[in-house]
Amino acid sequence: MTIISKDVSKAIALLNANELVAIPTETVYGLAGNIFSEKAIQRIFETKKRPFFNPLIVHIPSVESLPAIVSYIPEKAQYLADAFWPGPLTLVLPKNSTIPDVITAGKNTVAVRIPNHPIVLELLNQLDFPLAAPSANPFGSISPTTAQHVNNYFKNDIKMVLDGGSCQRGIESTIIGFEGDEPVIYRLGSTSIEAIEAVVGSIKIKNKKVIAPDAPGMLERHYAPKTKTILVDNLSEAIKINSDKKIGVLAISQLLEHKAISFQIVLSKSTDVQEAASKLYDALHQLDKQNLDLIIAERFPDFGLGKSINDRLQRATVNSKSV
């Protein structure tokens, strides 16, 4: 039976004993274990049913910890770390030989970040090892942004969820790798392209790879409800086309009226994209519980965090017919 607790000392004891603990971050909850414990890392993959070809992100408490993890830091990587850490940005850098290959899916690079959440920073600062922490959900499912989401997934599989409240950013970190010392976005996320380009200039996006992904979150189908989901530009038109179905609606800012709508959620009445991002996964969790035939999600304007939200919704709708 999983306990939900704010007790950091209990989490430390479990992690030191090679157990898994779900931890809060500013993005989503992670399923955490000691990166140097073969038992813990094996259990992360087994518990999530995550394929071993998909690398894990290493979480560290400070920039001072970085040289123990990576062998080389490009100049622009240092600029990005200075600008965004702690925060929702992951850097993929050449790894030190001490980092186990299972963490990196056999690659010579490792994904690393400093999360911006007071409880997890307190935890990391008291541990003698970094934590691997992919999202605390079964592989491919909707990411968790509350302790209860995690418990719903894993109530008999892990010992503890460290409760840090609802995640403020709500979607995963942006992941940046380097090709010839030039940054490349491998996964869109909570740090916008515009904010990144303000630090390092124009940047390429390479955020889809089905086989042997360079970083987490690059697979085509991911973050997905069990309910069939479509992403549309025009909600009213999509509802009309599917009016014979029991419909759930995920709208940006306005409620709609139609007899086919059984359940609907507005992400931000004021069209605040950060508010929308923070509510996105919880809204999908709620919609997925309603025994619907179809979830219809409204596409965001494709810039800033809207681009990252669209990325998550697009991956949630792969293998569902578009409208």
Tell me the pLDDT tens digit for each residue of 231-280. 999 999 999 999 999 999 999 999 999 999 999 999 999 999 999 999 99
Query: What is the rounded CA–CA span in Å between residue 78 and residue 69?
Result: 14
* % of the chain beyond a pLDDT of 70: 93
pLDDT of residue 224: 83
pLDDT of residue 322: 40
Residues 110 and 93: beta-carbon distance below 8 Å: yes
Phi, psi of 258 (to 5 degrees): -165, 140
Identify the DSSP state of 135: B
Render the burial of 230-251: b for 16+ CB within 10 Å, e for the rest: bbbeebeebbeebeeeebbbbb
Q: What average pLDDT does the chain have?
A: 93
pLDDT of residue 41: 97
What is the band of 323 on the pLDDT scale with cuts at 50, 70, 90?
very low
Query: What is the rounded CA–CA span in Å between residue 322 and residue 229?
Result: 9
Q: Is the pLDDT of residue 179 over 90?
A: yes
CA 93 to chain centre: 19
* % of the chain beyond a pLDDT of 90: 88
Q: Where are the domains of the chain?
A: 3-205, 229-316
pLDDT of residue 243: 95
pLDDT of residue 209: 55
Residues 165 and 70: beta-carbon distance below 8 Å: no
Tell me the pLDDT tens digit for each residue of 22-39. 999 999 999 999 999 999
- The mean pLDDT of 115-130, rounded to a whole number, is 98
Before 213, cis peptide (omega within 30)? Answer: no
Superfamily, domain 229-316: Threonylcarbamoyl-AMP synthase, C-terminal domain (3.40.50.11030)
Q: Is the pLDDT of residue 1 over 90?
A: no
Indicate the CATH number for domain 3-205. Answer: 3.90.870.10
Amino acid at 269: K
Identify the DSSP state of 207: -
Q: Is the pTM value of this prediction over 0.85?
A: yes
Q: Is the pLDDT of residue 183 over 70?
A: yes
pLDDT of residue 216: 64
